[in-house]
Amino acid sequence: MGLTALGAPLRPAFAHGAPPGLLALDATSQAALVRAGHLQPAQLVQASLARVADINPRLQALVELCPDRARGQWQGPPSAGPFWGVPFAYKDAVDLQGTHRRSGSRLQADAALSSASSPLVARCEASGLIAIGKTATPEFQLSATTEPLLGGPVRNPWNPLHSPGGSSGGAAAAVAAGMLPMAHATDGGGSIRIPASCCGLFGLKPSRSRMQGSGPRDAGVDHAVSRTVRDSATLFWWNQRGDGAAPLPPMPAVHGPSARRLRIGFAPQNLFGEMPDPAVLQEVTRVARLCERLGHQVQPFAHGIDGERFFDAFMVAWSGGAERALQQAEGTGRPPDTLLEPWTLHLARHARALPAGAAARAGAHFAAVGAQVNAWFDAVDVVLSPVAASEPPPLGWLAPTVPGATLWARLMRYASYTPLHNVAGTPAMSVPLGLSERGLPIGSHFAARVGDEQTLFALAYELEQAEPWSHRVPPL
């Protein structure tokens, strides 16, 4: 069922208060109450849907609900997985049987209902998670904000005039606002980590090939945004590939910090040698000092990557998906600019203007960069940097209607830290340790060697214990 409240007017101000009762608990605690018989899955799902009805018209985080599907799941056999009864939502970039897959685009506004769910959905459902709907995404996940012309912008729960990040901005806004304890997210250039940072959540991007559906050359991976480290770690452990063809050995469950002290490289400069905005630099420097107080060895780190060359190659890869969307739009016989956003058209036309062999040269460059990044971890265990160059930007600053050359320049600076780890296949996470003077979240970014999510989760647990963040809630 569609959300009839989408587009309802914003209230002048949000009333202060935490998510009520059950929804203030993380997924692990909710599932524990169900297992103990103190709570029924129906109660959790109904509480979540009530919260959506109350809050979503102001934020536009969810774009479709599926209460009948949820009812069918909770009325069926209980799952033995770790999250039985916990409400969940999927990004509108995957197939969920009985819902639409629109990917934030007018091109797919009339998409038929998905006849089957993706393998990832099946795996999440086996864990016991109950889908209540789908979350908003920018058109074809092509931006670091979530402001699609189809449905309108998603608003950050911490300040409705600011972006929740992208492309998993709907997921992050929904979790931060207490509609869900965690939600599915994807990351092809920072799309888990940037929204997590913008909305004060924990978000880890897995290694390439680690999760279901992630291939050996894929930049994009699936996981989640959550309020606690343990929810993310448990879902990661459940969803990781365990088949005989998996290129990485399964990660054991991580339940807390490690006694191991780490060599942490501190790299506040982006790939162009630029420092982030003062508020971000102040926060990431503070986190570096926190790591030192916890006994880790923090040292200056130079990444040695040519930013101009890297982002030229990244633009080649990024624009390829837009060009395929333009082909589809042209096949409808309708004017493409009535179906695709200006930013998508800009990317597609860039792709069509590329010289022969550009994709192959970009791929070769990415292979060299990946080897270079993974070699970092001979000298350090983890690299600490900003997640993004600034606080969450105001809505409109990265909107798809901004002239293409201007928007590309803004995106290259704002999202200049995260794409490197998609190309290299390295795991990386945003840890929500900071709030700016204006009350906007600022995450800190940690990356490790391919396959070493265990180190990142253990460090995240340690930071969560040192400076808990679950008491922070946006002023809704």
**Which residues are catalytically annotated?**
91, 167, 191
Structure token digits, residue 411: 């995106």
Q: Count CB atoms within 10 A of the CB of residue 332.
A: 11
Are 222 and 439 spatial neighbours (Cβ–Cβ below 8 Å)? no
Structure token digits, residue 63: 């774009």
* Residue 171 vs residues 27, 167, 248, 350, 363: alpha-carbon distances, Å: 15, 9, 27, 30, 30
b/e burial code for range 90-126 (CB count within 10 A of at least 16 → b): bbbbbbbebbbbbbbbbbbeeeeebeebbebbebbbe
If we measure between CA atoms, which residue out of 179, 201, 133 comes closest to residue 20?
Answer: 179
Q: Count CB atoms within 10 A of the CB of residue 304.
A: 10
Are 417 and 444 spatial neighbours (Cβ–Cβ below 8 Å)? no
If we measure between CA atoms, which residue out of 343, 347, 322 comes closest to residue 401?
Answer: 343
Cis peptide before 167 (omega within 30 of 0): yes
CA distance 264 to 229: 20
Strands 130-135 and 62-65 come out as antiparallel
Lay out the sheet containing 130-135: strands in order across: 62-65, 130-135, 87-91
CA distance 18 to 25: 11
If we measure between CA atoms, which residue out of 224, 226, 162, 172 comes closest to residue 195?
Answer: 172
Q: What is the CA radius of gyration of the chain?
A: 21
